[in-house]
């Protein structure tokens, strides 16, 4: 792992980050990793398995489709108001002769996943192991008795994967005092809830943590903070202490109901369902995700994400120091839906070629959106630093520009190329231009390795060239803002783009490295509802100023035939700028709205021609 001095460096960085909310630096390494979680951040990619009694319903009960739009098939018991005993008639659909958890593990392995997490007990309260605590378990309803957790544990051991167990601690629809959202109307006493806790949760967790060998993680599922639930912090601590006592190496996720911030002993943060990362975090985290929508098998599922989409989610997370837990929802005969299996295998093939860019890799110091062509992951190995450029859309001109690294790479090659044939590049100051092969090497995402003899410093406050031949100066990549600085996010499904409402004299600054003399076109996009000719904008670059009064942009019909009229953002030419020589250039925009008027500023575009 890292040396002490590097750790201090990142501790310092973290503190700096907290103090400077607008800082542009971020750390590439994960400094706040509990020792236990090292295997987890190395692994990066795991399989979630939602399988249980609900799998027999396939999203339909007595001819009626699952109620409620979110269509989580594993919620059918609750949504369609099924009686506890009648629910178990769904077990008649199960074909125990074909159900074989080892096949899921084999699939995970082929898919390049390093761990699996099975719903040992979901909200329906039904245990997938032979539980002495409750008869509401799989052993009670199978002859000979089955124990799915045992079978999975054996298979994981055999195939070298870590096993995690999902356990719904908060919600349990089967136990009279377990949490059921109906209790928001018909409440129970905390003492009653504690009865459920002490007679079901604690002893069942004891069973899972004692009888099945090493458990890689317990995946809890309370997606609200405990203060808003019936569960007390004491109960959660009792549960966590039990895990620490019985299996000190077992990871615990934040859906225990305690955030990583509140209790740093929680090993990793779980994002919302199908929520992917948006910024680099210093501690381990994971997105749980589905291939379509439902977690449990749903017969009417049809919005399958493509392999590339799923792979990009994995890459995105790794580039931000996160993991991906991708779900399969097998059927009542154990089969994994074709649509899921196909995508998993395709990504598995990709990982065989490109796994180096994922396993043991993490984020890099450059900002997430520095380049519009890719995400970057990185890794330090024996003093050498490799950064991996993930390129889904091969540039038509076969040229790729990496901006922000002063050091010259020692070598560049395609990760999938076992011969490591060098890719030619030109390095100038902070821009490395790669001359790529004509053919896109990978149908999903192609990975280029850029190697440095030591960890390179980065310059983050630079605008990188966009794939559309120019530089987009936005609110995200500017180095300084004074006056109006609050970003207003996109509204009305993005018809109103993100912008700053400028209601006072304001200034924005960007820095660009331009590689050769050229003439640039300059445009600005804004919305302004006042009189034309009033107020002004001024762009200053290389001692030249381009001054212009504001133009009324009027309104726009965002969606025809409905009341969807919005203020229009239009592009206005600011003129042409001659760049005399290669070098760094500052661009400073000053906006002065007329009194009591606002200008909604969006971007400045510097076009190469
Ligand atoms: C929960 C479960 O209810 C669901 O059945 C599934 O197991 C999933 C992985 O987790 O669902 C959630 C949890 C969190 C959010 C939404 C649904 N959330 O944070 O928005």
Is the pLDDT confidence value at 317 over 70? yes
Q: Is the CB of 74 under 6 A from ligand 1?
A: yes
- Are 282 and 430 found together in one domain? no
Q: Is the CB of 79 under 6 A from ligand 1?
A: no
> What pLDDT score does 468 carry?
84
> What is the rounded average pLDDT for all residues in the chain?
93
- Are 213 and 258 found together in one domain? yes
Q: Is the CB of 71 under 6 A from ligand 1?
A: no
Residue with CA at minimum distance from ligand 1 atom 19: 272
> How many angstroms separate the CA atoms of 161 and 123, rounded?
26
- Are 323 and 408 found together in one domain? no
Q: Is the CB of 404 under 6 A from ligand 1?
A: no
Q: Is the CB of 575 under 6 A from ligand 1?
A: no
Among 311-320, 456-465, 521-530, which is the least confidently predicted range?
Answer: 456-465
Q: Is the CB of 154 under 6 A from ligand 1?
A: no
> How many angstroms separate the CA atoms of 242 and 205, rounded?
8
Residue 184 forms part of a structural domain: yes
The single residue listed with the structure tokens 């990362």 is 277
- Are 21 and 63 found together in one domain? yes
- What separation, in Å, do the N-terminal and C-terminal C-alpha atoms of the chain show? 48
Strands 60-61 and 64-65: antiparallel
> What pLDDT score does 260 carry?
83
The 10 Å Cβ neighbour count of residue 118 is 28
- Are 210 and 90 found together in one domain? yes
Q: Which of 296, 323, 357 is the last residue of a domain?
A: 357
Which residues face 603 on adjacent strands? Answer: 525
> What pLDDT score does 31 carry?
62
Q: Is the CB of 272 under 6 A from ligand 1?
A: yes
Task: Extract long-range pairs of 2-9: CB within 8 Å, 24+ residues apart.
Answer: 2/29, 2/31, 7/31
Q: How far is the CA of 273 from the centre of ligand 1 (A)?
A: 6
Q: Is the CB of 223 under 6 A from ligand 1?
A: yes
Tokens encoding 28 = 């590439």
- Are 243 and 380 found together in one domain? no
Residue with CA at minimum distance from ligand 1 atom 5: 74
- Are 187 and 105 found together in one domain? yes
Is the pLDDT confidence value at 267 over 80? yes
Q: Is the CB of 225 under 6 A from ligand 1?
A: no
Is the pLDDT confidence value at 243 over 90? yes
Among 29-38, 40-49, 474-483, which is the least confidently predicted range?
Answer: 29-38
Q: What is the mean pLDDT of residues 182-207?
A: 97
Among 270-274, 502-506, 579-583, which is the least confidently predicted range?
Answer: 270-274
Supply φ then ψ for residue 475, to 5 degrees: -75, -20
Q: Tell me the pLDDT tens digit for each residue of 409-444.
A: 999 999 999 999 999 999 999 999 999 999 999 999
Q: What is the mean pLDDT of residues 66-89?
A: 95
Residue with CA at minimum distance from ligand 1 atom 11: 273
Q: Is the CB of 221 under 6 A from ligand 1?
A: yes
Residue 527 forms part of a structural domain: yes
Angle, CA 541 vertex, CA 540 and CA 546 arms, to 5°: 45
Percentage of the chain beyond pLDDT 90 is 86
- Are 505 and 565 found together in one domain? yes
Please give the tally of structural domains in the chain: 3
Residue 256 forms part of a structural domain: yes
Residue with CA at minimum distance from ligand 1 atom 10: 221
Q: Which DSSP state fits 464?
A: P
Q: Tell me the pLDDT tens digit for each residue of 337-394.
A: 999 999 999 999 999 999 999 999 999 999 888 899 889 999 998 889 999 999 999 9
Q: What is the mean pLDDT of residues 54-71?
A: 94
Residue 566 forms part of a structural domain: yes
Q: Is the CB of 288 under 6 A from ligand 1?
A: yes
> How many angstroms separate the CA atoms of 348 and 110, rounded?
6
> What pLDDT score does 5 carry?
37
- Are 328 and 444 found together in one domain? no
Residue 370 forms part of a structural domain: no
Q: Which of 357, 388, 409 is the last residue of a domain?
A: 357
Residue 103 binned pLDDT confidence (cut-offs 50, 70, 90): very high
Return the best residue to mutate from 221, 225, 293, 324 for the ligand 1 pocket (most ligand atoms within 8 A of CB): 221
Is the pLDDT confidence value at 100 over 90? yes
**What's the per-residue H, E or C state across 350-417?**
HHHHHHHHCCCCECCCCCCCCCCCCEEEEEEECCEEEEEEEECCCCCCCEEEEECECCCCCEEEECCC
Q: How far is the CA of 48 from the centre of ligand 1 (A)?
A: 13
> What pLDDT score does 30 carry?
55
The single residue listed with the structure tokens 């995970």 is 108
> What pLDDT score does 18 carry?
33
Q: With CA atoms as reference, report the closest residue to 47 among 102, 101, 108.
A: 108
Residue 548 forms part of a structural domain: yes
Is the pLDDT confidence value at 25 over 50? no
- Are 353 and 382 found together in one domain? no
- Are 442 and 502 found together in one domain? no
The 10 Å Cβ neighbour count of residue 303 is 8
Residue 467 binned pLDDT confidence (cut-offs 50, 70, 90): confident
Is the pLDDT confidence value at 13 over 60? no
Residue count of the chain: 609
What CATH number does residue 407 fall under? 2.60.40.1180
Query: Collapsing DSSP states into helix, strand and coil, what is residue 103?
Result: helix
What CATH number does residue 271 fall under? 3.20.20.80
Strands 583-592 and 536-541: antiparallel
Q: How far is the CA of 220 from the centre of ligand 1 (A)?
A: 10
Q: What is the mean pLDDT of residues 463-484?
A: 93
Q: Is the CB of 70 under 6 A from ligand 1?
A: no
Residue 561 forms part of a structural domain: yes
Q: 524-540 in b/e burial notation, b at 16+ Cβ within 10 A?
A: bbbbbebeeebbbbebb
Q: How far is the CA of 561 from the centre of ligand 1 (A)?
A: 37
Strands 480-482 and 487-488: unpaired
What CATH number does residue 516 fall under? 2.60.120.260
Residue 2 forms part of a structural domain: no
pTM greater than 0.85 (yes/no)? yes
- Are 151 and 219 found together in one domain? yes
Residue with CA at minimum distance from ligand 1 atom 8: 273
Query: Collapsing DSSP states into helix, strand and coil, what is residue 455?
Result: coil
Q: How far is the CA of 77 from the centre of ligand 1 (A)?
A: 15
Is the pLDDT confidence value at 28 over 80? no
> What pLDDT score does 19 carry?
32
User: Where in the sequence is the domain holding 598, given as residue range(s)?
Assistant: 470-608
């Amino acid at each position: 792992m890292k040396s002490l001095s590097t750790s201090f460096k990142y501790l310092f960085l973290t503190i700096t980050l907290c103090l400077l909310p607008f800082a542009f630096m971020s750390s590439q390494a994960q400094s706040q990793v509990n020792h236990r979680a090292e295997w987890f951040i190395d692994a990066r990619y795991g399989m979630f398995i939602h399988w249980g009694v609900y799998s027999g319903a396939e999203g339909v009960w007595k001819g009626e489709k699952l109620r409620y739009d979110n269509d989580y098939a594993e919620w059918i018991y609750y949504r369609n108001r099924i009686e506890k005993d009648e629910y178990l008639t769904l077990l008649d659909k199960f074909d125990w002769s074909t159900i074989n958890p080892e096949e899921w593990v084999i699939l995970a392995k082929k898919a390049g996943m390093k761990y699996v997490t099975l719903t040992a007990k979901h909200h329906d309260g039904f245990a997938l192991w032979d539980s002495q605590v409750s008869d509401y378990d799989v052993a009670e309803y199978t002859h000979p008795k089955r124990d799915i957790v045992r079978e999975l544990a054996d298979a994981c051991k055999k195939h070298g994967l870590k096993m995690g167990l999902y356990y719904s601690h908060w919600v349990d629809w089967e136990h009279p005092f377990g949490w059921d959202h109906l209790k928001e109307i018909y409440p129970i006493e905390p003492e009653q809830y504690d009865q459920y806790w002490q007679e079901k949760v604690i002893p069942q967790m004891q069973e899972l943590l004692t009888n099945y060998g090493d458990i890689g993680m317990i995946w809890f599922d309370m997606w609200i903070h405990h203060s808003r639930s019936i569960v007390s912090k004491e109960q959660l601590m009792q549960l966590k202490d039990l895990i620490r006592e019985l299996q000190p190496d077992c990871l615990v996720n934040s859906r225990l109901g305690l955030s990583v911030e509140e209790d740093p002993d929680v090993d990793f943060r779980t994002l919302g369902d199908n929520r992917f990362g948006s910024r680099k975090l210093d501690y381990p985290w994971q997105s749980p995700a589905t291939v379509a929508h439902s977690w449990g098998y749903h017969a009417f599922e049809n919005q399958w994400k493509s392999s590339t989409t799923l792979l990009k989610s994995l890459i995105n997370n790794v580039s931000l120091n996160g993991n991906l837990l991708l779900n399969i929802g097998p059927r009542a005969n154990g089969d994994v839906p074709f649509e899921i299996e196909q995508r998993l295998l395709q990504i598995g093939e990709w990982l065989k070629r490109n796994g180096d860019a994922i396993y043991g890799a993490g984020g890099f110091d450059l900002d997430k959106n520095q380049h519009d062509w890719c995400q970057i992951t990185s890794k330090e190995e024996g003093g050498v630093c490799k950064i991996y450029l993930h390129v889904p859309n091969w540039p038509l001109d076969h040229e790729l520009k990496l901006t922000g690294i002063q050091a010259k790479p020692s070598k560049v090659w395609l990760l999938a190329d076992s011969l490591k044939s060098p890719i030619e590049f030109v390095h100038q100051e902070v821009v490395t231009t790669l001359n790529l092969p004509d053919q896109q090497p990978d149908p999903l995402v192609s990975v280029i390795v850029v190697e440095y003899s030591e960890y390179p410093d980065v310059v983050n406050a630079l605008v990188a060239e966009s794939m559309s031949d120019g530089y987009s100066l936005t609110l995200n990549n500017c180095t300084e803002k004074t006056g109006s600085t609050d970003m207003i996010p996109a509204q009305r499904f993005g018809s109103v783009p993100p912008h700053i409402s400028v209601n006072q004299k304001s200034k924005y600054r960007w820095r660009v490295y331009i590689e050769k003399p050229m003439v640039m076109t300059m445009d600005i996009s804004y919305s302004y509802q006042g009189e034309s000719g009033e107020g002004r904008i001024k762009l200053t670059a290389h001692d030249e100023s381009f001054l212009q009064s504001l133009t009324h942009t009027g309104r726009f019909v965002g969606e025809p035939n409905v009341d969807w009229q919005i203020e229009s953002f239009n592009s206005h030419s600011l003129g042409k700028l001659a760049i005399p020589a290669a070098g760094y250039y500052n661009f400073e925009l000053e906006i002065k709205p007329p009194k009591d008027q606002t200008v909604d500023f969006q971007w400045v575009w510097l076009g190469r021609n």
